[in-house]
Amino acid sequence: MEISPLQKARLQYNPKLPPALKNGVLSLKHVLGGKTESVADQEQISRIFEHTYGKPVVTFEASENSKTAKAINVGVILSGGQAPGGHNVIAGLFDALKAADASSRLYGFLGGPSGLTDGKYIEMTAEFVNAYRNTGGFDIIGSGRTKLETEEQFNKAWDVCKKLNISAIVIIGGDDSNTNAALMAEWFVKHNAGIQVIGCPKTIDGDLKNEQIEISFGFDTATKTYAELIGNIERDANSAKKYWHFIKIMGRSASHVALEAGLQTQPNITLISEEVAAKKMSLAQIVDYIADIIVRRAENGKNFGIVIVPEGLIEFIPEMKTMISELNDLTHELEKDDKYTSAPQADKFTIIEKALSSGSAKVFESLPDGIKAQLLMDRDPHGNVQVSRIDTEKLLIAMLEKKLAAMKKAGTYKGKFSTQSHFFGYEGRCAFPSNFDADYCYSLGYNAFALVSGGFTGYLSSVRNLTKPATEWIAGGIPLTMMMNIEKRKGENKPVIKKALVELDGPVFARLEKNREDWAMNDRYLFPGAVQYFGPAEVCDRTTVTIQLEHQK
């Protein structure tokens, strides 16, 4: 198969490892912390995870003592949306497993969690894995979003593991995927299956983190990729000086990606969903905020600019959030009614408006028909509105056009408002991983096998101290239950890993807030360019602005 010169060069890159792992997993000391508890709802979580709750955090240190190697079969699953570096997690896992005992086997389950329950797999060989090192994508075995939560699924998984003599499963995924991992680990322990389950923290959204998980893999590469694209548009906007560019950027449940991309490129406006929620801003107030900057820039002869819009903004606007919550519950019931499902779209709108509370009905009625239709599209795997399908950037443009036209008629605005809209999402999910993500992901995979070798289950692979060189990284693991809380899913209370949102009192948002007015009126655009793989370490191995600010001394 023909490959590009860059891919050929990246295949030769040798990822770095934390010092504790450099001599393999057989020479490790396990340093255990105290008993842990979930971030919230401790009583409920401890009852659900009776056999795996409260385990200690583990840190690995190099040891002069060495364990006796033994052959072991491990299964690996890629779960959820793609994120740069997934292939390197598998490469790290494979290398650690084979270094411990060359007769050990790694099985990749195809198409995500369903590959485990359906018994669809391949055995991974060195030749096979080598073709994917340091590359983007999840195409090595594919991914999927099947939830693992039923007795039938767990029994099928157990049967497949017994058939392949698998004694450990590594699930590479985000918060929902690692919730699957926690549930499966609990079930296997409860049934004395003898099968360990280890998770790896993946999501470009950056919302799977805590003190032990400093960053989820893929965030570094994705934000650098988006920043390159935004920088290109900023350069174009500053050249043409005639368009306002509205850029929606991936990140449904948190604004980490938008915030990081904003800090890397310094656009005129960066909306942060968590701020909108905290200030209880209405859609009209958001439009007023943007319009004010547009008008003031026009007075300075600048009829152009850049607006960053988080993908999940709609859900954080209180009036919209309330309406969407009602829609999520309402449509579950309405979709069981043939009269509703067979009704023309206009009639569906009427049925919805009559069934919603008066406040939500008013909000729904005020929306353009195209946005209404997007709100009623097919649901996501959790039965909720697919926010990524809502053209928030186009909704803002339409409302601004209406407002600015009224202001022009009243003589309070004399500028021109021409727009371009963009959505950056898939462009960043399968990019070649940055050097940071290549190293971090390889370390996470290698470390996952260290957890397996140490007999741990229900743990998430953790590599810390990431603002330092890899020679100072700290390897270990945290109990998955430590990150859990209870949330409502499809009308039922479910245990899930709590999403980490942007902290409005933290140093990262503070950097944006401090510079917001300056960046709004002056064109302080930064042009970061393409992700750098070769060159000085300060260029190629730099981490995100987010993690640098979070861990500054």
- Is 290 in contact with 396 (CB distance < 8 Å)? yes
Q: Which of 95, 175, 176, 205 is catalytic?
A: 205
CA distance 232 to 244: 14
Distance between terminal CA atoms of the chain?
48
Strand runs labelled E in 254-403 = 269-270, 305-310
> What is each CA distance from 38 to 49, 366, 479, in whole angstroms?
11, 41, 9
The CA distance from 534 to 435, in Å, is 9
Residue type, 462: S
Chain centroid to CA 524 = 28
Interatomic CA distance for residues 214 and 478, integer angstroms: 12
Q: What does each C-alpha distance from 97 to 66, 154, 158, 401, 517 come to in angstroms?
A: 15, 25, 21, 59, 53
What does the alpha-carbon distance between residue 122 and residue 520 come to, in Å, rounded to a whole number?
Answer: 53
- Closest C-alpha among 199, 98, 127 to residue 444: 199
At how many degrees (to 10) do helices 175-190 and 151-164 cross?
A: 70
User: Tokens standing for 349?
Assistant: 């709108």
Smallest Cα–Cα separation from 445: which of 3, 122, 192, 140? 140
205 is catalytic: yes
CA 78 to chain centre: 14
User: Around Cβ 518, how many Cβ atoms within 10 Å?
Assistant: 10
DSSP bridge pairs for 306? 245
Catalytic residue numbers read 205
